[in-house]
Each structure stands twice: as C-alpha cells, then as structure tokens.
Amino acid sequence: MLGSCAPMAGPPTDEETAEPPFGSSLQIATGSPATKRKRRPAGTPDPDAEVVSLSPRTLLESDRYVCEICNQGFQRDQNLQMHRRRHKVPWKLLKREAGEAARKRVFVCPEPSCLHHDPSHALGDLVGIKKHFRRKHSGHRQWACSRCSKAYAVHSDYKAHLKTCGTRGHSCDCGRVFSR
C-alpha cells in the first residue's frame, strides 16, 4: 500500500497556508477554474450546429469574390473589401448585430455515396470540405510533379510532395531507407 497517496490528516499548518512572498513566481489561481472548450473527436460534429450543404460547383471555385474594378479574385468577402480600399472606393466590413452569436456551422459533402454526406459525419470547416471534395470526388488534378509525374488536386498536398520527391531519405546500415 502506498502511504504517500493517502490524504493528509489534520488541519493544514501555517507553512502550507502562508502566502508567497511579494514578487514570487508562484501564482495562485483565483475564482473559478478556466473553462477550456474540448474538441470533439473526428466525425462527431456539434449536434446544435447548422448543417450547410454546398454545391460541387461552389466547392471547386477558387475565387468567389471578384473586384469589379480590376477583376482580381478573392476567396473571402472581407479580403475583397480590404482590397477595395486600394481603389479608394467605399468599403465596409460586415459586422454581426449586437447579441447575435456566431452559430457553429458544419459542412456536408454533396456526393450522396460519401460518408461525409451524412450530417453526423459532417466536416467542421469550409476549407476542410473543399479539400475533401477535391481529393475524393474531383477528377481534375491540377498540380503535377515534374520529377515523378504524380498529380494532386489540392495545392498543399502538391507542395508537401515536392519536399520529399526525389530524395532517397536516410539509409540505415541494414539497408532500409527511411524518410526521416
């Protein structure tokens, strides 16, 4: 039996209840403990979240917002509004009404045969659903490696591939090759 795990008997001594000296690095938390939001496990979205279903065309678009002056495209409306300042035209960032809370949204895949078409397996952000749709359901692979001719539908996947393509990795004395 471990004696060190047993609770202390009797009231605390003066040394245990004494305040640390001024300037001490020890800080005592006051009030209620910090409430940290825990992340949900993958595939279990918030049941109170708004379920959003976007069309395949919308998911494949890269620049949804286009400047009417110079035709430059942007992925977000706020980026377009900030860009319009360069042209010296009026701009206004959209703001929420006072008291209106940001409602959590989850995104479902438009492909009926996909696991993520079910709202209980929806993805939590717009970038995630766009990448999922491009990887799994789009036949268009826009970025191709010039060394090995592998093609990728998502630019970040292509950039990650370029970091390791053509490298032999690290050789062990036993003959095996490791990438790290």
**Which pLDDT value is given to residue 95?**
55
What is the C-alpha to C-alpha distance for residues 95 and 75, in angstroms, rounded to an integer?
18
**Which pLDDT value is given to residue 113?**
92
Cβ distance 110 to 117 under 8 Å?
A: yes
Q: What is the DSSP string of 84-111?
A: HGGGT-------PPTT-PPPPEEEE-S-
**Which pLDDT value is given to residue 152?**
93
**Which pLDDT value is given to residue 125?**
81
Cβ distance 163 to 147 under 8 Å?
A: no
Least Cα distance to 129 among 154, 102, 162 occurs for: 154
140 CB-near residues (< 8 Å, 6+ apart): 60, 134, 153
Query: pLDDT tens digits, the chain, 180 residues: what are they?
Result: 444 444 445 555 555 555 545 544 444 445 455 566 676 666 666 777 888 888 888 778 776 777 878 888 887 888 888 888 888 876 665 555 555 566 788 889 999 999 888 888 888 888 888 889 989 998 889 889 998 889 999 888 999 998 888 776 777 889 887 777
> What is the residue type of 40?
R
Is the pTM higher than 0.75? The answer reads no
Q: What is the distance, to the nearest Å, from the Cα of residue 11 to the centroid of all Cα atoms in its chain?
A: 49
Q: Which residue has the tokens 């049941």?
A: 47
**Which pLDDT value is given to residue 93?**
56
